Amino acid sequence: MEFGTFFVIFGLQWAVNPVMINNISRLGFDYIVPLTAAANFGMAGATLGTFLRTHDKKMKAYSMSALLSILFAGITEPSIYGVGIRYKRPLIGAVVGGAIGGAFIGGLHVKAFAFVFGGLTTLPAFVGSTFIYYVIGLAICFIVGCIVTLIIGINEKEAEKKEVVKNISNGNIKTIDNETISQPIDGIVDDIATATDPAFSSGSMGEGMVIQPSDGNVYAPFDGNVTMLFKTGHAIGITSNKGTEIMIHIGIDTVKLNGNGFKSFVKQGDSVTKGQKLISFDLEAIKNKGYDLSTFVIITNTDNYKEVQLLDTNMHKHGENILSVNV
């Protein structure tokens, strides 16, 4: 499972979950869950290495919030996509750390007694005769992942150069302009700083807003293209024809639902028009499962603008002008 990080990138980790759950229900324990935690802590170490290596203040803030998401919630996506894929080299650190620590954990037959996501808050699920080996294994994953990332570096300048080249090839730099963005979902709007999830409220992912939805439909806030769509349907990225890049993320930790309650009406690469339905979700059913449905609308290329302004708060309908970006 040292390649668990890549499983997450392609959404393949969900295929293994039924096996782990079945093992626990039949045997009372499982050997795979500890290995998934090894992948998480390898990525956590690489993220700390990135935090120590980067000179970008916003990346420092982002990498720290992403690290906390792993350590306390076992959620690796912010780290994988915002750190690993961006700089590439931290993925090497994550895999090496996860492989070495995972070998230690697997070799000593560490057991999990519940199906959980690997983080500090889920340590009780591993309490038993192999618990000490689990803790040592996680420490190995974390320390090795961090050290390898510190040694090989993150090649920050090259990553920034590639991002500029990518933007030029996509026409984003030539077409970027002032733009007014409409609300993508009905609900109560507030500033992103009020969000309960630090990965968003810190602004490290970009400026924007948080919406408490009153309806389970998400609509395109402008004319543009779908640049990213999670298989689970809980998040979508869109780039407007004027160059604004946004991410709409429905709920907190809703990736754990594995797409249950979500339906996508578009696919990655599609052109969309303002007001076109993108995603629907079962608002009440997801709430009843205990999930916070705070929906985040983030300008992911905030750095390209002098100002990102929230035009109003309170209750608004989709299609109303709500954000403006100014170069």
DSSP classification of residue 83: I
pLDDT over 90 at 151, yes or no: yes
Q: Out of 234, 249, 316, 318, which one is annotated catalytic?
A: 249
Q: Is 249 a catalytic residue?
A: yes
Cα–Cα dist 320/185, whole Å:
10
pLDDT over 50 at 41, yes or no: yes
Provide the token pair at 317.
Answer: 């309908």
Average pLDDT, the chain: 85
Residues 6+ apart with CB under 8 A from 306: 326, 327
pLDDT over 60 at 153, yes or no: yes
Residue carrying the six token digits 């992948």: 39
CB atoms within 10 A of CB 19: 11
pTM above 0.85, yes or no: no
Amino acid at 147: I
Cα–Cα dist 322/310, whole Å:
6
Q: At 4, is the pLDDT very low, low, confident or very high (cuts 50, 70, 90)?
A: low
